[in-house]
Chains A and B, each alone.
Chain A
Amino acid sequence: MSKVFAKSIWVYHFAASPCNNCDIEILDTLTPKFDAERFGVKLVGSIRHADCMLITGALNSKVLPRLKRILKQAPEPFFVIAIGTCALDLGVFRGSYNVVGPVDKHIKVDVYVPGCPPKPEAMLAGVVKLKEKVLAGEKKKGVKKL
């Protein structure tokens, strides 16, 4: 199963109050120059169709309940890639009254992609890392702290 799974990871993009830059770089990764689709990565509109969630941004208090609600709809097995400095450790937004992140304080994250914004190459490397994880048989055991 994991061998087939690793060849077609469908991703869902969740913007948790980012600055948009990671998000446009994610789209950039899908467009002709970097073409993530050759790894079987496809952007889908709903989390119900996805195998993996790309989460960007510092996660504010209005988004957090929505994130939890959306994650409940995710099929199993499910993976999470945190993209960008804000998702990893809040970056420049640390100390803001409305920010409740970082992301891994609330949900389990499988792969971290640092950078502000991470280059498309870095995101591809993240996807490849996830593929390796899947092939090695690491399964997701549900979402932490839901």
Chain B
Amino acid sequence: MSKEKKKVTEIPIGPYHPLQEEPEFFRLQVEGEKVVGLEIELGYNHRGIEKLSESKSFDQILFLVERICGICSTSHPFAYVNAVEDLAGFKIPEKAKYIRTIVGEMERIHSHLLWLGLAGHFLGYNTVWMWSWKYREPLLEICEKVFGNRQHYAMMKIGGVRRDIDISKGNLIKKGMEDLLPKLDMLQKAVEDDPVIRARLKIAGTLPKKEAREYCVVGPTARASGINIDIRKDDPYAAYDLVNWDVSLRKEGDVYAKTMVRLEEMRQSAKIIKQCVDKLSGLKGDIDIDIKEIPEGEGIGRHEAPRGEVFHYVKSHGGSVPYRHKVKAPSYANVLSDEFAVIGGTIPDAALTLAAVDPCYCCTERMQATDEKGRKYSPKELIKLSQEKTEEIRKKQAK
């Protein structure tokens, strides 16, 4: 080892580590307390969703994409139906638009509360964990009463929604939102007023605007760094352009800003849901359209999931199954930004910073290509491999 290159200690975190809910592997390189490098290894959750979906019919895929991730279990179907409707040019009824929006926003609230609790847990502040999960419980109860399940609601359907919302249950939703707001204030105070928590959150994992742009982060992670990006405003779908709401923005880019952005987003979501319920009560008509077949073509669908932009691409050659289905989850961009945010901090802050982007490894899981000896392929080698493969296919088709 050369003299310039100092000896670094490596700390492995994972794949099965007490701090993590999901299996993932981080290699922290440290000098004393200071983190100088980070390597991320994924693949522990890879289930081959894209390949599986090529063997399922368009309607069955909804249930598959729902199970990409259990926390944002409406985001993936939402983006998928957007993609198929874009492909086929379907227009959905207004009622379905509002119901979709309600489901999407309910999910955002419970996902952010879940994150807040886990962030408290990573801080060693288990009270926040227990409290925020306690206040998440009434929301799940509403979900169960209105959508039929605590998670995995299966509300989305190509061309509309699967179930109507009973208007009498509308008041239940509204009351749930009213009850939630004071709890959010309380949680905000718990984070804001506690000097220790504040101090910990303020110094950890800063991601400035420039770096945030370079890493292409999305969702609350980007909005906490001052990037005004929100698919719901930039490219409105469902009923997001029919209701009144604001994007929550912060400039600092640290974990504190990310927390505040998410708290504000929950308030905005409550606002959206209340407006949607009001508008829904005056509406009559169908909740879906009749669909005979999905034509040939390709389409994209986007949805602002709790973690950021979910992107689905569907290509159809006619028939009942898609030719290609591509999924890009928000954590795919966000997790990589850890590389910047963790370096320079201390080891105890690393765990918090890694959790601050609200990573979902189930969503973002990719296959890792290795040769027989277990050596990883570099990106250049992978591109070469893919070009060779394409060439092979071309030759076959030419014959």
Contact = CB atoms under 8 A, between A and B. Distances in A.
Contact of B69 (A19, A58, A70, A98): A19
B70 A62 contact: no
Contacts of B22: 15, 20, 23
A98 B46 contact: yes
Interface residues of A, number: 39
A101 B64 CA distance: 17
Given A18-B362, A21-B152, A22-B70, A99 B44 contact: no
A98 B367 contact: yes
Interface string A92-135: 11011111000000000000000011010000000000000000
Given A21-B151, A21-B152, A96 B52 contact: yes
A60 interface: yes
Interface stretch (B13-21, B243-251, B275-283, B299-307): B13-21
Interface string B48-69: 1101100100000001100111
Interface residues of B, number: 41
Given A23-B21, A66-B15, A66-B16, A28 B133 contact: yes
A25 interface: yes
Interface string A26-68: 0110011100000000001110000000000110101100100
A14 interface: yes
A67 to B, nearest CB: 9
A146 interface: no
A20 B71 contact: yes
Contacts of A24: 21, 70-71, 114, 151
A17 interface: yes
A20 B134 contact: no
The dominant DSSP class at the B interface is loop
Given A25-B151, A60-B45, A93-B52, A46 B73 contact: no
A96 B68 CA distance: 13
The listed residue with most B CB atoms (<10 A of its CB), out of A16, A24, A66, is A24
Given A21-B70, A117-B151, A46 B48 contact: no
A23 B130 contact: no
A92 B67 contact: yes
Given A24-B70, A96-B51, A17 B46 contact: yes
A33 B136 CA distance: 10
Contact of A20 (B130, B150, B360): B360
Contact of A95 (B44, B52, B69, B152): B52
A67 B112 CA distance: 31
Nearest to B367: A98
Given A20-B71, A27-B133, A28-B133, A96 B48 contact: yes
Contacts of B44: 17, 60, 62-63, 66
Interface string A72-94: 00000000000000000001110
Contacts of B70: 18-24, 117
Contacts of B55: 95
A21 B48 contact: no
A108 B6 CA distance: 48
A45 B13 CA distance: 13
B152 A116 contact: yes
Nearest to B67: A19
B40 to A, nearest CB: 15
Nearest to A49: B18
A115 to B, nearest CB: 10
Contacts of B137: 28, 31-33
Sort A-B residue pairs by CB-CB distance and give the 9 closest, nearest first. A21-B70, A45-B18, A31-B133, A20-B70, A96-B48, A19-B70, A19-B67, A32-B134, A17-B45
Interface of B: 15-19, 21-23, 43-49, 51-52, 55, 63-64, 67-71, 73, 114, 117, 129-130, 133-134, 137, 140, 150-152, 360, 362, 365, 367
Given A20-B21, A28-B140, 19 more contacts: A15-B23, A17-B365, A18-B70, A19-B73, A21-B70, A31-B133, A31-B134, A31-B137, A33-B137, A45-B17, A58-B47, A62-B43, A66-B16, A93-B67, A95-B55, A96-B47, A98-B46, A98-B47, A117-B151
13 contacts: A13-B21, A15-B45, A16-B23, A18-B362, A21-B67, A21-B73, A21-B152, A28-B137, A31-B117, A32-B130, A66-B23, A92-B67, A119-B150
